[in-house]
Amino acid sequence: MLLTSIELNNFMCYSGMDNRFDFTEGINVIIGDNGYGKSKLYDGFYWVMYDKCFDTSIKTFSYTSKLKKAIISDKAIFDIEEGKITASVILTFHNPEKRDVVILERRYSIKKDGDKIIEDEKSEEIVSKKDLEFMNARIEKDPYEIERIKRYILPDNVKPYMWFQGEQVESIIDFNKSETLTDAINVLSNISKFDNIIKIADELEASSEKEYDKKRRDLSKDTNKSEQLSIDKEKLEKKIKELEKEEMQLRDSSSTAEEKADSKLNKLEEAQTIRRLDQRRKDLEKRLGEVQAEFDKEQINLHKKLFTNRWVLKGTEALFGEYNQKYEKYISSKLQKKALANAKFEATNELRKKLQTRLPLDVPEPIHINRMLEEEKCLVCDREAPKGSEAWLKIKELLYTTEDDNSKIEEEVKTNFDFESEFKKLYQNGLGLGHIIKNIDNDIQNTFLRKEEIESKRRTILEEFEKIEKELRSLTAQSAMTSTEAFDILNGYTVLNEQVKRFATQIANQTHLINNKKKELDQINKDLSSLVVGEIPKYLEEKRTVLNEFYQVAHSTRKRVFQKLVKMLEEEANKHYQNMIQRNLSARGIIKLKELTNGKNYMPELVDENGNVLHQLNTGNIILIKLATIMAIISARKASRDTDLYTLITDAPMSVFGDDYTLGFCKTVSQVYKQSIIMSKEFYRNETLRRELLENEEIRLGKVYMITPTIPETDRTNRKSLATNIKALN
Amino acid sequence: MNSEEILRAFLTDDLIIEKGHLKKEEAENYKWFSHSNNKLIEVIKMAIEGETSSESPNVTEKKINKLLNQQ
């Protein structure tokens, strides 16, 4: 059925009663930036069908009974003082062949009385039908019929492939759920018919075998033995079934492990690079720490060396010379002074000798001289010598000795502060340091060279460190994988590979066991036949053969048809993939649907022209592959009643893969789906792209609308006047 | 796939050719209403017919058994 319109009345940001979008066949596009009401429009479709809307606070779909007044436009609630406010969404479907019309409506009301708001518990669903488009609609009351109509519009098993939001694409074909693609093929292809025929073939084969055995027992020459053999056979068959079931479980587990390993393999190269870079980063960090410590030490030493290596003396060579001169002058002046004093001393002594005529030196002794001076009388000649007289002064002269003269002379030579020894030390030190000063320049130069060397090493390491940091940041952003996750992937991959190997051994053992049991079964059948006396009816022999062959043909045909379907899907998927990537020159690869170990599940992967798997896929690539695969499943059934009946409704499916793919995606969607409704921000932001959408003849275009809010996103704190403008662009 | 296409998918199986029920060209061009005395082909047709007409599997099995029980 074609979805011809949606009307939104006071529903969320669609305030008022005139919000209507009409749709036609082809791709219908609703253009709007983030926060402009695209997702609320998607909610509108979803709400009518499932009584649920996306609850952004808990990131899941919630029932009206939980959302309540959040369903109703804030503006509508604010605008009315008192009374009932109702939000409603109406979807109109039209079947052009039968010319009948189905109208689905959902309503939700609240009552407002000033500040008080009374919320209804539930929403109301109204389904009306027009048997012919021009007739009046009649409301359908029968709940079973309502359910039937809704399932007719969109069956539950088809819904995930027809109605989805951008972020749900990942989970539609989940690489970690091995049966997802197979399930999709089952739902959207008629392989289930072959599955049903297999069930009939299995039943018939088992019952004919039983019938045949019974006949063999009836015709047995040894009934007891035949009975026992039949019991053994039954047990053996049961055992074989159990073993086969176990084998299948092992194969399933192996497939899951293989598939998980494959999905990790996709990121393995990136993970390895991240790990390598991370390790290098850590090494460099350590090295940088060491070099920094070395540098710091050198810096401290540089200051110390001013004193330890006597750098502080640099430039003092002249001072040393000057000091030496002064010292020499000082010493020479001192020696000269001393020589003069000595000469004076000698001369005084000489003079004294001459003057000393009557008495020898120190005669009389000073004690007697002092007595004579006191008594003012010469005790030698016994004459009076009054104080101050010539005789008294002569006596007094005798008190002056040579020592006194020497002391006087020494006193003359001596100065008050004698620094000779210190000056000498300084002189001697100066001689030693003078030798060191010559080497200071070399020492400073070597030290600075060493410092420069360390600095250069530090810079090089730092540059490499920053380069690796940048590379790591870009890689982790591109792969959406942290260093820890990269480690987990590598470890996980190793573990999964080991699991696959272990499963392979277990499967081989199990197969061997089953084959042995089958041989035992063959022997029992032979034994049973050998006991038969007479002839088994021909029709029974024939029936057994026919049904056994039917059983084999049914199984091998199903497998063949499924493989053919997979091959066809692969071709279709590649057609769509190539269409979508045609405007992006860097995109490459061919989609391959890889069969897993259990022989029943398939996973999409991207290979190059030589069949080598391409592992460096980003999220955009992966989603394109998934979308191409989904489209292949749909287009493989193109023109069949099923897929033409349903409308693709998707919110922001292109948000993850960039502008280059947008038109390719629209073109492909318009060719694959009879009708689609796409919500997109890409055409809002890129005007050229929008023009191309409206003019590109390869795109089977339906209606195009632009939606804008009445209040800019920045002023959205007060939503009481928020409404949405709808403008048709074609 | 319609009934005839499903039938052809079965009849082009290697086992049908190997056991000599049909030649390859015969299988590829087989029509739904082609006359055949081959019981395997008849059984396959009955199973397909039952499936496409949403018949209960029990009923289909009974019909097939009846066909094969004819002496």
A627 with A160: CB under 8 angstroms? no
Query: Is the CB of residue A462 less than 8 Å from the CB of residue A295?
Result: no
Name the residue with tokens 């045949």.
A212
pLDDT at A645 over 80: no
Give me the domains of chain A, ranges plus CATH numbers: 2-154+646-728 (3.40.50)
Average pLDDT of the segment spanning A506-520: 94
Nearest-by-Cβ selection for A550 from B43, B50, B57: B43
The C-alpha atoms of residue A5 and residue A30 are separated, in whole angstroms, by: 13
Q: What is the model's pLDDT at position A179?
A: 63
Which pLDDT tens digit goes with each residue over A361-402? 667 787 888 888 899 988 888 888 899 888 888 888 777 655
* ipTM of the complex as predicted: 0.97
How many Cβ atoms from other residues are within 10 Å of residue A702's Cβ?
20
What's the confidence (pLDDT) of residue A109?
95
- Mean pLDDT computed over A497-514: 93
Write down the mean pLDDT value for chain A. Answer: 85
Selected for mutation to probe chain B from A197, A210, A545, A548 (highest B CB count within 10 Å) is A197
Task: Count CA atoms within 13 Å of residue A595 on its CB side.
Answer: 12
Residues 6+ apart with CB under 8 A from A230: A213, A217, A528
Mean pLDDT of all residues in B5-31: 92
Do the Cβ atoms of B50 and A560 come within 8 Å?
Answer: no
| Chain-chain contact of B43 with A547 (C-beta, under 8 angstroms) | yes
User: Which tokens sit at A660?
Assistant: 């280059």
Q: Residue A458 has which token pair? A: 């530090």
B6 vs A193, A204, A552: nearest CB: A193
In a mutagenesis test of the B interface, which of A546, A637, A641 is the best target, namely the one with the most B β-carbons within 10 Å? A546
Degrees, nearest 5: CA angle A260-A264-A268: 155
Q: Per-residue pLDDT tens for A553-574?
A: 999 998 888 888 888 888 888 9
| Confidence tier at A449 by pLDDT (50, 70, 90) | very high
Q: How many CB pairs under 8 A join A and B?
A: 73
What is the end-to-end Cα distance of chain B in Å, rounded? Answer: 35
CA distance A200 to chain B (A): 6
Give the tokens for residue B22.
């049909």
Amino acid letter for position A631:
M
Q: Over the stretch A180-234, which tens digit does the pLDDT of each residue have?
A: 677 767 766 677 889 899 999 999 999 999 999 889 888 989 989 998 998 999 8
Taking contacts as CB-CB distances below 8 angstroms, the residues of chain A near B69 are 539, 543
Instruction: Grade residue A411 by pLDDT with cuts at 50, 70 and 90.
Output: low
Q: Which of A353-367, A384-398, A610-624, A670-684 has the lowest mean pLDDT?
A: A353-367
Cα distance between residue A237 and residue A690, in whole Å = 66
DSSP A342-358: HHHHHHHHHHHHHH--S
The stretch A567-584 carries a mean pLDDT of: 84
Candidate from A434-438, A694-698, B8-12 with smallest mean pLDDT: A434-438
Mean pLDDT of A135-150: 91
Radius of gyration over alpha carbons of chain A, in Å?
55
Classify the C-alpha dihedral B34-B37-B40-B46 as positive or negative: positive
pLDDT above 90 as % of chain A: 35
The answer to which of A365-379, A587-601, A677-691 has the lowest mean pLDDT is A587-601
β-pair partners for A651: A165, A679
